[in-house]
Amino acid sequence: MEFTLTHASGAARRGILKFSRGDVQTPAFMPVGTHGAVRAITPEELRACGVEMILGNTFHLMLRPGEEIVQQHGGLHEFMHWSGPILTDSGGYQVFSLSPMRKITDAGVQFQSPINGDTVELTPERAIAVQHALGPDVMMVLDECTPHPATEQQVRDSMELSLRWAKRCREAHGSHDNALFGIAQGGMVSELRLECQECLEEIGFDGYAVGGLSVGESAEERERVLEVIGPKMPVDKPRYLMGVGRPTDILAAVGYGMDMFDCVIPTRHARNGHLFTWKGEVRIRNQRYAQDTQPIDSDCDCYTCQHYSRAYLRHLDQSREILFSRLASVHNLYFYQSLMKEIRVSIEEDRYPEMVRRTVETYQEEEGE
């Protein structure tokens, strides 16, 4: 992996991530393909939406089908028929989300499989070994996603555990060609965030992520963390904000210097009838769209908007046709990639703050007209 910065507008950064499988323009949004697929979407459709990089999940792929089967296919790219770059999360978020059925020790995490109840152990070394077998272009260290709210002592204990795991992951990774990112934890405590980031840099990683956000904190709390840690992250390394988020959240985070994003929101919202436009969300299940012959967004060039009306999409949703999930997901993913493209252009032209103000003013957190 090579990372080059090309432009800046305030703290917002424009760059290029170069991989053997292709370039990724940053700021970039990665759709989530947890089980080796972005739900309801083919790789060809992802490309048509402008997607350059996707995310897979080590935890889930380890449990099913198992890394051995993926490796037999030549790695995750060949297994899922995706030729572009892939980033794999290590399973740290699942350690957080499966808290009722897991036990954390310094050695790692022991938990019951959500698939069949078997006892499974995930250690830093195991997380790296599984990712080596999957063969992504970017791998993540195993960390503990600190819950919110938490006391400062709980946050420190969690952060220090993540640091010990990060060091073990770096040692297990060795001289492997694929990039390995560290993850800064520290909850909402600024001093701990900075301490964690400094220690990660001493260990040395190819890129750095901000983890432990989008876990119930307010937007103001999240932005305070980014305001503190953003300027302290290495200028020459990519910065990845994990699990964020809504369009307005991404706009804010880019303004604090973040380069990479992932979230299930565009596809999950699509399946639930929430469609993004430059004027806000169209909630297609609303009766007002039952006879609406207009596309979701008359200014959108996606396949869905070029061929189908709001009334037809609402009909598909009401009829529980699988085609609705596909068409809605295509639109939302196209919108997100269009948003990232506009962000990049505004940074190149040094008008990012103006672009944010204009977009936030028109992008209301309610139904678009």
Hey, what are 35's tokens? 């089980």
The residues near 345 (Cβ < 8 Å, ≥ 6 apart) are none
Q: For residue 262, indicate whether it is catalytic.
A: yes
Q: Which of 143, 249, 262, 317 is catalytic?
A: 262
Q: Which of 89, 137, 143, 249 is catalytic?
A: 89
Beta-bridge mates of residue 28? 260
The dihedral through the CA atoms of 134, 139, 140, 142 has a sign that is positive
Give the Cα separation of 256 and 34 in Å (integer). Answer: 27
Q: Which helix (H) or strand (E) holds 262?
A: strand 260-263
Q: 80 near 37, Cβ under 8 Å?
A: yes
Strand order in the sheet with 2-9: 2-9, 12-19, 22-26
Q: 276 near 332, Cβ under 8 Å?
A: yes
Give the Cα separation of 324 and 310 in Å (integer). Answer: 11
Q: For residue 89, indicate whether it is catalytic.
A: yes
Q: 40 near 271, Cβ under 8 Å?
A: yes
Hey, what are 220's tokens? 């103001």
3-state secondary structure (DSSP) of residue 55: strand
Give the Cα separation of 69 and 62 in Å (integer). Answer: 10
Q: Would you name the residues annotated as active-site residues? A: 89, 262
